[in-house]
Every structure is written in C-alpha cells, then in structure tokens.
A and B are shown apart, each in its own frame.
Chain A
Amino acid sequence: MIKGIATLLGFQLAGEIAARLAHLPVSGPICGMAALLVWLHVKREVGGELGRVCDGILANMALLFVPVGVGAMSYSGLFAATWPVIALAILAGACATLLTTAFVTRALSDWTGRHATAEGRGKAAVSDSYQEPSTPTNLS
C-alpha cells in the first residue's frame, strides 16, 4: 500500500514543482495527474499496488470535499442576503453545463462517426474494385 501512496505523492510533488517553475496556469495535482498518465503509458500497466490505492482513494473521494464545504458557514451573512441569486446561478449554470456538454459531445460523436463510416465506405469501394479483376479468372 505504501508504495502506491508514495507514487501518488511523488507525482503530486513533481507536478507542484513543474507548475511553479514553469508558471503554469494549472494546479500542481493536475500536472501530477498528467505526469502519472504519461508514466503509465511508458510502463504500459498500472501495477496491482498503485491500482488498489487509487481505487480506494477514488471510491471515497466525495469525503475529501466535506472540509471545504463546511466553510459555507463562514459566509452566513452573505448567504442570508444573496442566497436566491447564488442558488439560481449555481442551478442554472449546472443545468447549462450538463446539457450543453452532453449534447455537443453527442453531436460531435455523430458527426465524426458519419465521417468514419464515409471513409470506411470509400475503402470498401476501393477493395471491391480490387477484387473485380479476379472475377474473370474465377470464371475461367
């Protein structure tokens, strides 16, 4: 288990250092995620221990947001004054993002899918024409 944890911390640290040194607009953990992804591609396998640790953390990831969420209590005054706007902004923003993401993804998948099948048909047509010359030999 400890090897898996050390791997995660190591990549996070590398990500933090890279993000700071290169003044990247992205946070250290996200850089660490990208670095680990590249490393897994190089190794071509996850490895049992790292896999188990990651599955364990990710299965309980929701718990990690609780401490920041409780921070809402420090803004009770602000929430009392503007909660309808905040609630509307959060709900409307979330609906807009959910629906736009899902339907734009679907539209682009359909579009690229059509292109792929059109290409496929093109290739099929070519291979058909290749087979044609062989037909006379079959007949003879």
Chain B
Amino acid sequence: MPLGELMTAPLLYLGLTCGVYVAALEVNRRSGSHPLSNPVLLSVCSLIAILWWARVDYQHYFANVQLIHFLLGPATVALAVPLFRHHQRVRRAALPIVGGVLCGSAAGVLTTLAVCSAAGIDTALTASLSTKSITAPVAMGIAEQIGGVPSLAAVFAVLTGMTGAAFGPWLLSRVKVQTSLERGLAMGTTSHGQGTARILQENEEAGAFAGFAMGLTALGMAILLPLLARLVL
C-alpha cells in the first residue's frame, strides 16, 4: 500500500486523536490536574493546530474519527450503572436534585440570553449558544428546533463542557461547595458529559449525581427551551 493512502484511512486519524489524548492526560497528571491542562482542551487545541498545519479539512478528519464520536451514545447509556449503584441517595434527595438542576439550567440560559442581547448578537447565534449546557447530541436537536445552527451548538456545548470541567471544581471549592451531591449536580448541569467525566475522577458518587443531572438537564431543557424561545427569540 502506498504511504499516501494512509492519509485517507481512519487508522491515521484515530491513532493521532488517541495519541494526542494520551499525551494530554500525561501533561494533566504531571501538572497536578491544573485547570488549564484539561485533557479535552489540550487535545482539541493540539489537534486543530496539527490539522491546520497539515491542511486537513475538518469534514475529512471527522469522517475518519467517527468511531470515537459514535461511542458517545453507548457511554451515555453506561451512565445508568453509576446511577443504579447510588440510586438510594438519588431517591432520598429527589426534591433538592430536581429543584437544583432545573434552577441551575434556567440561570445559565437566562444569563446567556442576557449577554447575547446586551451584545446585540443575532438570533441564530443566540439560539446556538442557549443550548450549550446540554449534552452535545441533544443540544444539536434542540438548537435546530429553536432556529440555531446544530454543528455550532455542538461546538458550544463542548466548549462549555471544557470550561466547566476545567474551572468548575476549582470554583466550587472556592465557594466551599464540598458535598458530592452539590458538586456532582453542579458539574453535570453545567458541563454535561465532560463535567461528569471530570467529577467521576473525584469520586463515583458525585459522578452518579452528575450523570443524573446531565440527563435531567437534557430532558428539562428539551421541553422548556422551545417554549422560552417562542417568547424571547
């Protein structure tokens, strides 16, 4: 096989993506989990730099790393396991969980809308930004429904996931939020799967709450955002 064919095969891009991610994990470990060394943030920046330097366009890259992207579905389903292991605590705290997650999502959406309207941003961009605390696959669907751009909504969702995963635990510690219930819910509501992945490293119970918060945010926002959009957008 000529070497050039490697450029069009998934092997190269899958290997590159996983390799960059493993290197990013190593940097993160050595820096003592510094917020700016968030593995997704580092990987995304490095990969953009590499692709830009090699003049590979994004569609070509994405088509070749479909396998990684596909695993988001099964990973979401897998969140049922930590949730089941901690279901007794979730059930006992049902009211604080539902109240906290819905108020938190609403606060995020309203803040975003306020920033956008103050800056005079157009409706399509505002709509794509308003879904940013929802897990990427669901955010794309809702954004389309309320007049946003699905692929842009996915990028904002991942950027928000990165931001929350990087600075969330630090900010929560600063304001003395220490229980796994409060930390887990805050991370899952803000940064969906990435927040869940991040807080799972802290402890499994917080991860279970984060996974539940992510699902509840997706469900709640899927119903509430289209109604809100009809009023304000």
Contacts and interface: CB of A to CB of B under 8 A. Distances in A.
A40 to B, nearest CB: 4
Contacts of A17: none
B37 interface: no
Contacts of B73: 12, 28-29, 32
Interface residues of B, number: 111
A41 B100 contact: no
Given A54-B81, A71-B62, A100-B104, A33 B76 contact: yes
B25 to A, nearest CB: 9
A94 B40 contact: no
Given A94-B108, A97-B105, A29 B190 contact: no
A26 B186 CA distance: 21
Contacts of A51: 81
Contacts, number: 314
Interface string A82-120: 100110111111111111111111101100100000000
B103 A58 contact: no
A66 B68 contact: yes
Contact of A57 (B74, B100, B182): B74
Given A62-B194, A69-B159, A70-B44, A105 B111 contact: no
Interface of A: 5, 8-9, 11-12, 15, 25-30, 32-34, 36-37, 40-41, 46, 50-51, 53-55, 57-59, 61-75, 78, 82, 85-86, 88-106, 108-109, 112
